[in-house]
Amino acid sequence: MDNINETVLEVLYSILPITVVITVLQFTIIWLPAEAFVQFLIGVLFVGIGLILFLIGVNVGLLPVGEMVGSALTKTKKLWVIILFGFLLGAVVTIAEPDVRVLSSQIDDVSGGAIPQSTLILAVALGVGIFVGLAMLRIIFKIRIVYLLAGGYGLIFLIAAFTPSHFVPISFDAGGVTTGPLTVPFVLALGVGVATVIRGKSASSDGFGLVGLASIGPILSVLILGVIYG
């Protein structure tokens, strides 16, 4: 029960402040028709309840499995199994990530269907998957995170030179939204699971940096998508 109260509060805290700012704007500067505003408030209600249910579901059923999978994987002691399933999990979780869905449907909308939602989601999922796989490698081989970050962003700026300009903002945004309410806890649980089995307790700090790496992947993959489309 405690857990549920916490989730409810969490969701309220992340939704209410902006709702208040928007309400103030509505009645000072904007004055959109009441109908539109009521529709917005219903939207807030739906989003709030939806997020609460979603997070409870993630906590009850999805996260525990993430951790179990993390440690079960490592016990197989097979490098390719760990990396393959790290990749699969990263990709599959991203496909279900709410923020990614919203961003991609907005891009689909704004581009008038030129950049279809399903293509974009697949690209983002591939990107996250590959970088979660890389992050597993990093934990196993103790590669310094700075190298991966520098290499990743270096590559981003290199590829961006060949990408049509309207893909650039989209790709960076994709990198930001991947780290939503499902991916972050999931990827962290997986990483901590792997790190703990491989290197014992002291490894917990290896869990840091996973999320940062995971958000490089989609930037790269959407940029590459742009190169292909352009």
Kindly identify the residues of this chain, within the stretch 104-123, that bind other proteins according to CB under 8 A: 105-107, 109-111
Could you tell me the CA-to-CA distances from 38 to 30, 45, 146 in Å, in that order?
Answer: 14, 11, 48
Span of 92-100, 127-135, 194-202 interacting with other proteins by CB under 8 A: 92-100
Triad 69, 180, 15: Cα angle to 5°: 135
The residue to which tokens 């293509």 are assigned: 119
Q: Is 69 in the site for other proteins (CB under 8 A)?
A: yes
Among 143, 173, 199, 203, which residue interacts with other proteins (rule: CB under 8 A)?
Answer: 173
The residue among 106 and 228 lying less far from other proteins, judged by its C-beta, is: 106
**Count of residues that bind other proteins according to CB under 8 A:** 103
The one-character DSSP state at 182 is T
Task: Catalogue the long-range contacts made by 145-150 (C-beta closer than 8 Å, 24 or more residues apart).
Answer: 145/209, 145/212, 145/213, 148/213, 148/216, 149/212, 149/213, 149/216
Q: Choose the binding region for other proteins from 69-77, 129-137, 194-202 (rule: CB under 8 A).
A: 69-77
Using only C-alpha atoms, what is the Rg of the chain?
20
Among 129, 193, 209, 226, binds other proteins (CB under 8 A): 209
225 is a site residue for other proteins (CB under 8 A): no
Select the span of 129-137, 164-172, 192-200 touching other proteins (CB under 8 A): 164-172
- 84 part of the interface to other proteins, by CB under 8 A: no
